[in-house]
Structure 1
Amino acid sequence: MNGRIDPKSLGKVVVLYGGKSAEREVSLKSGSMVLAALKRQGVDAHGFDPAEHSMVELLEGHFDRAVISLHGRFGEDGTIQGALESFGIPYTGSGVAASALAMDKILTKAVWLSEGLSTPDYVRLQPGFDAKAVVQRLGLPLIVKPAQEGSTLGLTKVKCEEDLQVAFDMAYRYDPNVLAEKFISGMELTVPVMGEGQGAYALPVIRIQAPDGNYDYHNKYIGNETQYFCPSGLDDAMESRVKDLCVKAYQVLGCAGWGRADVLVDSDGTPWLLELNTSPGMTDHSLVPMSARASGVDYDQLVLKIAASARLKASGQNLGDKR
């Protein structure tokens, strides 16, 4: 992952942050830190909030590349990626199709299962669902969450059948596509992945220990009670197994640039994929920078590395081709 990057070679860079999703506040914090890091390194970097400025203004900015620090809808779901493809502005992260696929937890699970990768069993919930049938299939407790939302927004751990409808109603406020997922009790891990295709590789595994095992929005972004361990404390064989699983999960979705996979390891030592984030947070609570530090790469170096990976995906054209 090491290798010196000339900040001037990045050209005029736009950092896209903020946006219209429920994760706007986290995105603003991520993007402002990314923007500050680029400027510290001497990059001609500019911030751009799609919620406050039009796409016409983005096009008229004549940017050489875009660093995507948007989270959630309109930023992580292929929408902004499609606009950048049409504008011919190389961008960081996954392309249109992979972004849309990874954003939808139901479709992601379908792909992983088709490839033989372990992910908890699930049921798509629709209005009027049969709560008893869902519980019979998945057991209790179980997890209910929106299919296309991040940062644990709208997520509920359901402990009794009577609470399933309330959990569905909460998730449905965020997204009409809702899933119930088998609850896996075990060790929570997250694994950043960099690169693309056969060149994709995992950074060090992070083990997460949240208060009462509740890694919710507060414990992710606000509180300081959650503990993170990197090195993870896993033995070498398990660390390698988890890394290999996450790289494979990233590859089969067609991801590129960078991402982060969330995993649970049960009491039998089986790792289970939960989801894959194609635009991870870059705040002071975020995990990709923590993992990068453990591999000897500081925050500014990581941001430069991500920015340098920007390219157009639909045409297979990279920045060097464009110039």
Structure 2
Amino acid sequence: MADSEEIVSDAPQQLGPNVTDGRALRVVVLAGGISHERDVSLRSGRRVADALDAAGHQVALRDPDAGLLPFLADHRPDVVFPALHGSSGEDGSLLDLLAALGVPTVGSTGAAARRAWSKPVASSLVGDAGISVPESVVLSHEAFRELGAASVLRVVRKALPGDVVVKPASGGSAQGVTIVDAPDELPRAMVDAFTYDDVAVVENRVFGTEVAVTVVDTADGPVALPAVEIEPTAGIYSFQARYNAGETTFYAPSRLPVDRADAVADAAVLAHRTLGLRDLSRVDFIVDEQGEPWFLEANVVPGLTETSLVPLAIEASGADASTLYDGLIRRAVARG
């Protein structure tokens, strides 16, 4: 295959004839998009395409541009594998369109994606299911302006007096996320969050071990892969720490005691089920000093790059990425 910059283009890519005997499938991997996470998506898409190519499938890597829907309608691939991060692939819009086209697609439905995409909605649903979620205040940019920033922030600080985390209500890769441990840092944190979304979340900071749990659907139901423990060298798992090699130490599997690892695995599967997610998800937690898992967010199209958490979990489980992705596309085709 060529480099991703050449593969993801406006030019139609021809696929060979349909193969339906189980030996090979015609797969379109979607990567790129126009979100803040475009570059990460391109890297994820490349890894997925290479893995499926190694599994013997006919793979085309496509950008979700104006030519995508006509291309899919005309060429009718066997299955689509979205590797689109940010709103391009995770807000449910494209997933609804793929469903309307009748193209088998790996991953969650549009409705489930919308539940997970909104962090306040996901936290409410997961909290109602019995999983611990941090106390929070959700603020729209409009309310922040109309009610007066100073007055709003005084109320927020009174309700959440300790260290807080400020983040956009949607989005991923820690973009627009700030840990606030001093009152005078809060106004700037709000501005940063509103750069990425019109709604911001201010939540209590939970101290403990940060882990990510990959959940994969199988014939017997969703299964949690070994949790990956995250230890950033700078103390914060920022965008740079996620995608620049050497800025974070990962432990796969995590160093959690067995009982705590089991508890966070159970919580991840419950969150996956509660949000109605499908095929593959990644659920992020902080495990506090008492061993309680605190839900942070769920990702319907998690990163699949060389520094991402899902590939580490797959390796820690003893599985092979090509085999796992092969199973996902065949499950999607069987589902129709």
TM-score (norm 2): 0.87
Residue 190 (1) aligns with residue 204 (2): no
Q: Unpaired segments of 5 or more residues in structure 2?
A: 1-19
Q: Which residue of 1 aligns with 2:116?
A: 102
Once residues 197 and 164 of structure 1 are traced to their aligned partners in structure 2, the CA distance between those partners, rounded to angstroms, is: 47
Question: How many residues of Structure 1 are paired with residues of Structure 2 in the alignment?
Answer: 309
Deviations 1:233-279 (A, max 9, x none): 22211111110011101100001101001110112221101000110
Q: CA deviation at 1:231?
A: 2.2
Q: Which residue of 1 aligns with 2:233?
A: 211
Change (3 A) 1:142 1:321: closer
Q: What is the aligned counterpart of 1:264 among 286, 303, 307? A: 286
Q: What is the aligned counterpart of 2:322 among 300, 303, 322? A: 300
Once residues 77 and 102 of structure 1 are traced to their aligned partners in structure 2, the CA distance between those partners, rounded to angstroms, is: 8
Following superposition of structure 1 onto structure 2, how do residues 126-205 of structure 1 map, counting pairs within 5 Å? 126=140, 127=144, 128=148, 130-195=152-217, 199-205=221-227
Q: CA deviation at 1:42?
A: 1.6
Once residues 197 and 155 of structure 1 are traced to their aligned partners in structure 2, the CA distance between those partners, rounded to angstroms, is: 37
Change (3 A) 1:276 1:198: farther
Q: Is the 8 A contact 1:197 1:256 kept in 2?
A: no
CA RMSD of aligned residues (A): 1.9
Q: Is the 8 A contact 1:18 1:27 kept in 2?
A: yes
Q: What is the aligned counterpart of 2:297 among 255, 275, 281? A: 275
Percent of paired sites with the same residue: 35
Q: Which residue of 2 aligns with 1:40?
A: 54
Q: Unpaired segments of 5 or more residues in structure 1?
A: 1-5, 311-318
Once residues 127 and 218 of structure 2 are traced to their aligned partners in structure 1, the CA distance between those partners, rounded to angstroms, is: 21
Deviations 1:101-143 (A, max 9, x none): 1011011011112222111111002323511211122223211
Q: Is the 8 A contact 1:194 1:203 kept in 2?
A: yes
Q: CA deviation at 1:80?
A: 1.1
AA in 1 matched with 2:97: A
Q: CA deviation at 1:157?
A: 1.1
Change (3 A) 1:153 1:161: same
Q: Which residue of 2 aligns with 1:289?
A: 311
AA in 2 matched with 1:123: V
Residue 233 (1) aligns with residue 247 (2): no
Q: Is the 8 A contact 1:20 1:51 kept in 2?
A: no
| Corresponding residue SS for 1:192 | strand
TM-score (norm 1): 0.91
Q: Is the 8 A contact 1:197 1:251 kept in 2?
A: no
Once residues 53 and 273 of structure 2 are traced to their aligned partners in structure 1, the CA distance between those partners, rounded to angstroms, is: 32
AA in 1 matched with 2:212: T
Deviations 1:291-311 (A, max 9, x none): 11111112222322232232x
Once residues 242 and 168 of structure 1 are traced to their aligned partners in structure 2, the CA distance between those partners, rounded to angstroms, is: 30
Once residues 77 and 248 of structure 2 are traced to their aligned partners in structure 1, the CA distance between those partners, rounded to angstroms, is: 39
Residue 18 (1) aligns with residue 32 (2): yes
